[in-house]
Structure 1
Amino acid sequence: MINYILGLISAATPALAQEIVSPAGGAAPVMESMAPAVTGSGMDIMHLIFQAGWVVKFVLFLLVLFSVISWAVIFSKLMVLRRSIKQNEQFQAMFWHAKSLGAANAQAMQLAGSPLATVFRLAYAELQKVMGLRKGRGDGLPEGLMANIKRALSRGTAAEATKLARSVTFLATCANTSPFIGLFGTVWGIMDAFSNIGALKTANLATVAPGIAEALVATATGLFAAIPAVVFFNHFNRRIQVLEAEMDTFSQDFLNLVELEVMSRQSSRETTRPTQA
């Protein structure tokens, strides 16, 4: 029985192969009819975009817009962070070699792009205000007024961190939404392709391939917009976290300097105070 079935298959195979190569009725061979669909100019990407439906075109326009804005944010933020890092290094070198806080404040005014310099200026202004209130008194800086300086440092750090993170959230939005927008365009394009198949009553490669290719262009564009946004969003987040850590560390160092200065003044007053007989 098995030998009989194998004999039927072997007898039918040449006939099937001949039918595929040379179909009945003088029709063109199937493989030859498929070749133009694959190698013709209809598969050019720009041609596919212009031939796409209005929904797919809108999706592509939106994704290109996202990509352009993302690259603008990327280049802008690269320059801002590079300047911040460079001026932070300059400020720290200057601050620890300054003869006084007043001299450090005068030099910090020249480093407008340094988050550390900005935080220091705010804290120094608060310190001057507190010292003005306590002028003429010999009891130093009480805990309540030291808390004012701490709050000034915290406000400055939060404001600078917010400024550094500005526009970075757009990269996260672009990275999260672009693939799904591209997927929507792909699904819509595939629906159009199957609709055309139903209208033409045929399902050969020449009918299906252009619609599928149009749909996949939307997915590729979505990935093109999302991948750089993901990479630079993570890069910027790491840089901003480092800058925030530097501001927090500097705030603690500044508070230590102020407290040491207060203790030094109190100690000098006690040593110069006349002893009672």
Structure 2
Amino acid sequence: MTDLAPVAFSPWEMFLGAGPVVRCVMSLLAMASLLTWTVFIAKSVELLRVKARLAKAETALEDATSLEVGEEWTRGNTSIAHTLVMAAGAERVRSQDIPGDSDGLKERIVLHLERLESAEGRRLMRGTGVLATIGATSPFIGLFGTVWGIMTAFTGIAASKATSLAVVAPGIAEALLATALGLVAAIPAVVIYNHLARQTAACRAQVADLTSLVMRLVSRDLGRAQAHGGGQVVRLGASRVAGE
């Protein structure tokens, strides 16, 4: 009785035994999976740091008594907080030749801060779009590799005129590996994208809170100015505004 040599069906052996097109598809899916986890680690670290800086800035603006104090206390903070405070101060300086226009000033500051808030939200989401692309396309790329591999396997079977399961199985298994790799790449990409989207939404909520705190400081300063008979607006960051 002749002993048959066992056929290796490990993923690596199946990858080596697959055709060039299927190997190319598998390599592409492996790189997509590596990119997914790289984005996950990089964005997670970035968002953790952003959250910490935003929380620190929120505490500073919460305790500030005026826009000038808020500018001083957020000066060393690398989050968007200092940018929001400086934008509000710059608009106050530009509008100081319009007396008795508190409502208009507030509206202009809100419009400016909303633009900065939207830009920050887009910046926080930067780099996550590739996860959505990987999650949407990887299953179909893997399916293409499977279809191509099965076509090649059946073509070889027809050419050899062998219908034994031992002949059919390796080619089909190698082709199905492409579908498995497509799912391995797609499922984490979708989960990670949703996770990062939630974390980004939390950061955007913190930025919205900072905008509200800045507007509260602006309203407080305007109230003081009106209470003192409409005195001059303090030039917050006047040197920086003059250089614009």
Would you call these one fold, judging by a TM-score over 0.5? Answer: yes
The residue that corresponds to 1:216 in the other structure is 176
CA contact (8 A) 1:126 1:148 kept: no
The two structures, once aligned, show a CA RMSD in angstroms of 2.3
Give the number of the structure with larger relative contact order, counting CA–CA contacts within 8 Å between residues 6 or more apart: 2
Q: Give the secondary structure class of the aligned counterpart of 2:228.
A: helix
- Going from structure 1 to structure 2, the CA distance change for 1:153 and 1:136 (only over 3 Å counts) comes to closer
1:122 and 2:88 equivalent? no
1:258 and 2:221 equivalent? no
Cα distance in 2 between the residues matched to 1:145 and 1:101 = 14
TM-fit CA distance, 1:110: 2.0
After TM superposition, list the pairs within 5 Å mapping 1:112-191 onto structure 2: 112=78, 114=79, 118=80, 120-135=81-96, 139-191=99-151
Q: What runs of 5+ residues in structure 1 fail to find an aligned partner?
A: 1-27, 271-277
- Going from structure 1 to structure 2, the CA distance change for 1:41 and 1:107 (only over 3 Å counts) comes to farther
TM-fit CA distance, 1:106: 2.6
Q: Deviations over 1:30-82 (max 9, x none)?
A: xx99xx58xx2432321211111111011011111111211111111000111
TM-fit CA distance, 1:215: 0.6
Q: Give the secondary structure class of the aligned counterpart of 1:241.
A: helix
Q: Deviations over 1:216-258 (max 9, x none)?
A: 1111111111121111100011111122222223323422331
Cα distance in 2 between the residues matched to 1:183 and 1:95 = 53
The residue that corresponds to 2:56 in the other structure is 90
Q: Give the secondary structure class of the aligned counterpart of 1:203.
A: coil
Pick aligned residue for 1:200 from 137, 149, 160: 160
Q: Give the secondary structure class of the aligned counterpart of 1:42.
A: coil
After TM superposition, list the pairs within 5 Å mapping 1:226-265 onto structure 2: 226-265=186-225
- How many matched pairs? 230
Judging by fraction of residues, say which structure has more helix: 1
User: Which has the greater radius of gyration?
Assistant: 1
CA contact (8 A) 2:139 2:183 kept: yes
- What percentage of residue pairs aligned between the two structures are identical? 35
TM-fit CA distance, 1:160: 0.8
Q: Give the secondary structure class of the aligned counterpart of 1:96.
A: helix
CA contact (8 A) 2:61 2:210 kept: no
Q: Give the secondary structure class of the aligned counterpart of 1:269.
A: coil
Cα distance in 2 between the residues matched to 1:124 and 1:249 = 13
Cα distance in 2 between the residues matched to 1:256 and 1:97 = 12
Cα distance in 2 between the residues matched to 1:195 and 1:172 = 36
Cα distance in 2 between the residues matched to 1:144 and 1:93 = 28
- Going from structure 1 to structure 2, the CA distance change for 1:192 and 1:218 (only over 3 Å counts) comes to same
Detail structure 1 runs of 4+ shifted over 4 Å in the superposition: 134-137
With normalisation by structure 1, the TM-score equals 0.75
With normalisation by structure 2, the TM-score equals 0.85
The residue that corresponds to 1:53 in the other structure is 19
Q: Deviations over 1:196-230 (max 9, x none)?
A: 22112121111111001101111111111112111
Q: What runs of 5+ residues in structure 2 fail to find an aligned partner?
A: 231-244
CA contact (8 A) 1:150 1:255 kept: yes
